[in-house]
């Protein structure tokens, strides 16, 4: 049953409120910040991890989406440069539909939802349809752009006021409703213009004709707070030509005022070793947050586009055998962090005591797998000298007598069989236990759109399957256009062989086959062989 009531809005416009007796969900209109994932608020971050569905725009930091749990529904409704992939009406109806399914919905908007973000329109629509909602502020682009460019938008000597204005005309308007003549007469202040790239040639003459000095300091800031942010210093009269000469593209913020001169002293951004380089990380997102953070802290723009993903596989037959084993003097082999993670999870799910593993000898490949074990206070008894399955197979059977012993080989569905074959050849009783499956995710149009607009400078591969996965996510033409020209970085020989098998060249292969070492070696390489980001 639905009840309706009429209520006067503050400006005396009749607003129809629809209140449902039926239980509905809630929508959070949340700001994600302008580009740097680190600028998202704690409240929004927590909501994202706990919601049922996310409805997000083009400029949302990719990490906030790709690292979400798989069970969260994701709806891309991106807009860029005035074009729509979804109309505002469609977005409103989607929010309403999801909330009426009793879902907790995060409407994730770039920057702040109420600063030129149409969040007010969406909130009104939800209110009119009886949907509970909350507004979660975000860091707006005008504030972050100035901070990351080293420009204080207020200064007690030069700017006692700041004005945020939009340079974009609503579609239904022939001319902008902004009073540029009034703004031009202001003194000792700062004007911050959003969405002005296409209109700056019309805005500047208005400002100058109405009294703003044509040599007023000005700045154009592209991609605010992204590591690939670019700041162009100019003066008011030269802004239109600067847009043309520098080929400025949206998103860009214009700052006009004497405060721009302060950048000479307080510019701090862009001094890190990987600054401005776009690095595509192919590792599964649920294992890559540490990589994302390290690369961002080194100044890179991270493209968190996993080419593989994993999901749990419960091998009931193998577990049945495992549970009946006399555990003295037997081996467990882990060849990946995923194997450790899913194996321990399945032990816990079955109510087993992890302390029982102390009676097993454990073999692992690589420092990453060793660290994964350490989280559960387990130490390996054997690590091969080289972090490859062939080294493991050869060295393991050479150093240990496996005859008559049970060897539980914890693995994924795509694991190579050379270790298995070596154990059987050495007389061991092999028990393969497939605890997870690797599969290839499907890249949405929004990811390909971003790669097309901003191709990667560097691509990192941490396994052969991440290489195969890339060729599953992109076709050969896309590989040739966006990947082949990039610097390709491999974690080790096995991965490099897969890269070469696809006809690509490896620029850097890590000498130590761990992710921290791969990143460290990449930094040293770039110092000696700088790339232009």
Same domain, 176 and 234: yes
pLDDT single digits (tens) 186-242: 999 999 999 999 999 999 999 999 999 999 999 999 999 998 899 999 999 999 999
Residue 533 lies in a domain: no
How do 458-461 and 278-281 pair as beta strands? parallel
Flag the least confident range among 21-30, 277-286, 340-349. 21-30
Q: Is 326 part of the annotated catalytic residue set?
A: no
* Domain end marker among 439, 464, 486: 439
From 109, 112, 195, 433, active-site residue: 195
Same domain, 329 and 428: yes
Give kind and range of the element (H or E) at residue 140. none
Residue 318 lies in a domain: yes
pLDDT single digits (tens) 367-387: 889 999 999 999 999 999 887
Q: Is 19 part of the annotated catalytic residue set?
A: no
The candidate with the shortest Cα–Cα distance to 176, out of 193, 190, 161, 163, is 193
Residues in the chain: 533
Same domain, 402 and 523: no
CB 396 within 8 A of CB 421: no
Rounded CA gap, 503 and 484, in Å? 9
Domain of 113 in residue numbering reads as: 2-139
Number of domains in the chain: 4
Q: What is the domain-level CATH number for residue 240?
A: 3.30.950.10
Same domain, 388 and 461: no
pLDDT single digits (tens) 416-438: 889 999 999 999 999 999 999 99
Same domain, 184 and 294: no
Same domain, 497 and 457: yes
Same domain, 408 and 455: no
- Beta-bridged to residue 55, according to DSSP, are 75, 107
Rounded CA gap, 108 and 58, in Å? 10
* Domain end marker among 93, 115, 139: 139
Helices H / strands E in the chain, number of each:
20, 24
How many CB atoms within 10 Å of residue 1? 5
Per the structure block, which two tokens stand in for 235?
């003066």
Rounded CA gap, 381 and 379, in Å? 7
CB 279 within 8 A of CB 62: no
Q: What is the mean pLDDT of residues 240-262?
A: 96
The candidate with the shortest Cα–Cα distance to 283, out of 306, 301, 300, is 306
From 57, 62, 112, 468, active-site residue: 57
From 43, 74, 79, 352, active-site residue: 79
Evaluate if residue 324 carries a pLDDT over 60.
yes
Rounded CA gap, 102 and 284, in Å? 31
Q: What is the domain-level CATH number for residue 291?
A: 3.40.50.10090
The residues near 439 (Cβ < 8 Å, ≥ 6 apart) are 308, 309, 310, 311
Q: What is the domain-level CATH number for residue 124?
A: 3.40.1010.10
The residues near 120 (Cβ < 8 Å, ≥ 6 apart) are 114
Same domain, 115 and 86: yes
Residue 414 lies in a domain: yes
Residue 272 lies in a domain: no
Same domain, 123 and 153: no
* Domain end marker among 121, 139, 157: 139
Same domain, 188 and 69: no
pLDDT single digits (tens) 120-149: 999 999 999 999 999 999 999 999 999 999
Q: Is 347 part of the annotated catalytic residue set?
A: no
CB 364 within 8 A of CB 354: no
Residue 271 lies in a domain: no
Evaluate if residue 349 carries a pLDDT over 60.
yes
Structure confidence at residue 387 (pLDDT): 79
Same domain, 474 and 379: no
């Amino acid at each position: 049953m639905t009840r309706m009531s009429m209520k006067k809005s503050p400006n005396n416009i009749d607003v129809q409120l629809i209140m449902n007796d039926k239980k509905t969900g809630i929508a959070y209109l949340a700001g994600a910040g302008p580009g740097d994932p680190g600028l998202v608020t704690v409240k929004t971050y927590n909501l994202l991890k706990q919601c049922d569905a996310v409805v997000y725009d083009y400029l949302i930091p990719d990490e906030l989406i790709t690292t979400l749990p798989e069970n969260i529904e994701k709806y891309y409704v991106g807009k860029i440069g005035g074009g729509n992939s979804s109309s505002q009406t469609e977005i409103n109806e989607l929010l309403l539909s999801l909330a009426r399914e009793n879902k907790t919905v995060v409407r994730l908007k770039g920057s702040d939802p109420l600063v030129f973000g149409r969040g007010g329109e969406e909130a009104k629509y939800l209110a009119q349809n009886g949907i509970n909602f909350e507004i979660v502020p975000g860091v707006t682009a005008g504030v972050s752009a100035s901070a990351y460019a080293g420009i204080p938008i207020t200064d007690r000597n030069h700017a006692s006021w700041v004005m945020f204005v939009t340079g974009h005309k609503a579609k239904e308007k022939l001319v902008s409703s902004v009073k540029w003549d009034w703004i031009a007469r202001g003194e000792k202040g700062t004007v911050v213009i959003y969405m002005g790239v296409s209109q700056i040639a019309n805005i500047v003459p208005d400002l100058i004709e109405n009294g703003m000095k044509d040599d007023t300091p000005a700045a154009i800031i592209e991609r605010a707070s992204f590591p690939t942010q670019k700041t162009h210093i100019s003066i008011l009269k030269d802004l239109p030509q600067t847009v043309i000469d520098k080929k400025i593209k949206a998103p860009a913020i214009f700052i006009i005022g004497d405060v721009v001169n302060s950048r000479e002293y307080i510019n701090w951004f862009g001094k890190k070793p990987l600054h401005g380089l776009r690095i595509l990380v192919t590792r599964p997102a649920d294992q890559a947050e540490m990589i994302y953070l390290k690369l961002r802290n080194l100044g890179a723009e991270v493209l968190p586009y996993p080419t593989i993903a994993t999901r749990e596989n419960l091998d009931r037959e193998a577990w049945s055998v495992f549970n009946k084993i006399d555990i003295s003097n037997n081996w467990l082999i882990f060849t990946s962090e995923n194997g450790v993670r899913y194996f321990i999870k399945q032990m816990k799910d079955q109510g087993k005591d992890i302390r029982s593993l102390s009676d097993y000898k454990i073999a692992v490949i690589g420092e990453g797998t060793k660290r994964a074990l350490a989280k559960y206070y387990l130490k390996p008894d054997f690590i091969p000298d080289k972090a490859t399955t062939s080294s493991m197979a050869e060295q393991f059977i050479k150093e240990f007598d496996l005859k008559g012993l049970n060897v539980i080989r914890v693995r994924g569905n795509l694991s190579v069989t050379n270790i298995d074959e070596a154990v059987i050849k050495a007389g061991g009783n092999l028990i393969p236990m497939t605890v997870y499956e690797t599969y290839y995710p499907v890249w949405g149009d929004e990811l390909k759109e971003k790669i097309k607009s901003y191709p990667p400078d560097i691509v990192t591969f941490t396994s052969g399957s991440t290489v195969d996965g890339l060729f599953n996510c992109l076709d050969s033409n896309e590989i040739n256009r966006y990947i082949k020209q990039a610097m390709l970085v491999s974690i080790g020989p096995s991965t490099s062989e897969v890269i070469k098998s696809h006809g690509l060249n490896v620029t850097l292969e890590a000498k130590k086959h761990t992710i921290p070492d791969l990143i460290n070696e990449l930094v040293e390489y770039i110092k000696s062989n700088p790339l232009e980001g």
